[in-house]
Chain A
Amino acid sequence: MKNVDIAIVGGGPAGLCAAITAADLGAKVILVEQDDALGGQLVKQTHMFFGSEKQHAGTRGIDIGTMLVEQVESNPNIEIMLNATAMGYYPDGVLGINQEENFIKIKPLKMILATGASERMIAFPNNDLPGVFGAGAVQTLMNVYGIKPGKRVLMVGAGNIGLIVSYQLLQAGVEVAAIVEGSPNIGGYLVHASKIRRLGVPVLTSHTILEALGDREVTGAVIAKLDEKWNIIKGTEQTVVVDTICLAVGLTPLTELIDQGGGKLAYIRELSGYVPIHNQELESTVSGIYVAGDLAGVEEASSAMVEGKLAGAVAAKALGYKPKAAEQIIEEAHQELFDLRSGPVGAGIRAGISKLQEVRQRC
């Protein structure tokens, strides 16, 4: 049994920032990551980040990842566990970890869960054909392993992920036939859409994929136009010749561990599905367990980093580490989150958070 101040599950932007903040305040931290490297999705983000200087805006995600990982690795208060999957959290306060087939028990005083989110899938005939990818898989192939997923891609979804991955495909020398988006409006940042449009990629809003074509692998896709009630307009079906279909249709929080550990969940559409009920200091319904990043509600990586910082400071403060300094970090983090969410693109998140607070007060 390992005793530690704070166990953090997940080595993405939220978990890294939580670890750095808590460890800088003096807490002993174990950072548990199931992959063989830290960084989470940051390692695939070749574009410059939005936000302000405080969230390293203008720097590429991959470089932010490298910088955060270096800070974690050089911090003597942080122990890193790679290839380590958190299997369960038990009523006696023990976190069970499977690390390369060894079962390791950790007894933390506080825990921060930053497990992230998983990709959604949508239903259409032949969506199990080889050549149908999630956008995350396409990014991993291209940006981690240097492998092109195909020659010509149909992107499904014009949120930020769909737009960014389309651009990365173009950068990798892959053709993007079109981006289809069911909604009448582009969901991602319009500057991302514009930079793809001016390279000649059509963005077809109010369009959906009807089916993937192909016998043993994708050879095309049928798309069609939708009316304002999202019904398919007959006669608008067209075939697009592609060898790859990339789905960027949203993420959903990875709640298994917090759910199993006794944390209550609530379905909040604006936060992308079931999320752990938590207060403004990110504490779940289980005392001493905090949540941060996409697990707490799917948002941009910049907010995930700030939430990590917030959770790290709250947990360290609760253990009595430099309460004054922690309090200052907490205040700053709240202000940063307020700023990031205050504009029109933050409206959904704001609505989701206020719904969550209503649910929390009822339970």
Chain B
Amino acid sequence: MLKRTGVASPEDIKGVTPSLERLSKGPIAIIECFQKIPCNPCYTACPRQAIGKMNDINDKPVIIPENCNGCGICVSRCPGLAIFVVDATYSETEALIKMPWELQPVPQKDSIVKTLNRAGEPVGEGRVVLVQDGRFFDRTKIIHLAVPKQDMMEVRSIERGTFK
């Protein structure tokens, strides 16, 4: 499916979804990189050795859940923009998603935005909590988006034009 459409299959996603137990402990990176390609900046960027050792540069990166604290450094370093951080403990009803964003316009803090899934289809709404920017992020902004908890593994983008 992914090879034909560019949209990861439910099985692909299942394979990288953290356990409920791990999700209940706080933020964690989810690496949606399903193809062996010669690439390893996420691995070299991680300060906590939370990405398993890549003996071959073509190995797929694998998160070590107990080492990851969801800091999001890898999110801004991934050339494929394929890493997201999910924090299921953000509030009673909401989860927080950190996602890379390289388009204009850039949503402001407190913007209410329409959310999209991996196929670019509407999911619902989200609230921008923070936009990380600055030199470290090298023009890949990180949007912190609060979404209803049930959307946290669905929402992977936001609809341009739903904010200024």
Contact = CB atoms under 8 A, between A and B. Distances in A.
A59 B33 CA distance: 18
A206 B5 CA distance: 10
A201 interface: yes
A342 B56 contact: yes
Interface residues of B, number: 44
Nearest to A57: B41
A107 to B, nearest CB: 39
Contacts of A328: none
Given A189-B35, A189-B37, A342-B56, A198 B117 contact: yes
Interface in A45-60: 47-53, 57-60
A170 interface: yes
A194 B57 contact: no
Pick from A47, A58, A345 the residue with the most CB of B within 10 Å.
A58
Contact of A194 (B56, B77, B82): B82
Contacts of A195: 80-82
A29 B122 CA distance: 56
Given A343-B37, A343-B38, A52 B80 contact: no
A190 B2 contact: yes
Interface string A290-311: 0000000000001000000000
Contacts of B5: 193, 197, 203, 205
B7 A194 contact: yes
Contact of A57 (B40, B117, B121, B139): B40
A76 interface: no
Given A198-B117, A339-B56, A58 B41 contact: yes
A191 interface: yes
B22 interface: no
SS of B interface (majority): loop
B124 interface: no
B44 A53 contact: yes
B4 interface: yes
A186 B3 CA distance: 5
Interface majority SS on A: helix, strand, loop or mixed? mixed
Contacts of B26: none
Nearest to A195: B81
A274 to B, nearest CB: 26
B116 A199 contact: yes
A197 B38 contact: no
B118 interface: yes
A117 B44 CA distance: 32
Interface of B: 2-8, 32-41, 44-45, 56-58, 77-82, 102-104, 116-121, 138-140, 156-157, 159-160
Q: Which 7 residue pairs are nearest across A and B when measured between Cβ atoms?
A: A191-B80, A343-B58, A200-B120, A193-B6, A58-B41, A48-B79, A197-B6
Given A51-B39, A171-B104, A198-B116, 12 more contacts: A48-B138, A49-B79, A53-B44, A190-B3, A194-B2, A194-B7, A194-B80, A198-B156, A200-B119, A205-B4, A342-B56, A345-B36
19 contacts: A51-B38, A52-B38, A53-B40, A184-B4, A186-B3, A186-B6, A189-B35, A190-B6, A194-B118, A195-B81, A195-B82, A197-B118, A205-B5, A342-B56, A343-B56, A343-B58, A344-B58, A345-B58, A346-B38
Interface of A: 47-53, 57-60, 170-171, 173, 184-186, 189-201, 203, 205-206, 302, 339-346
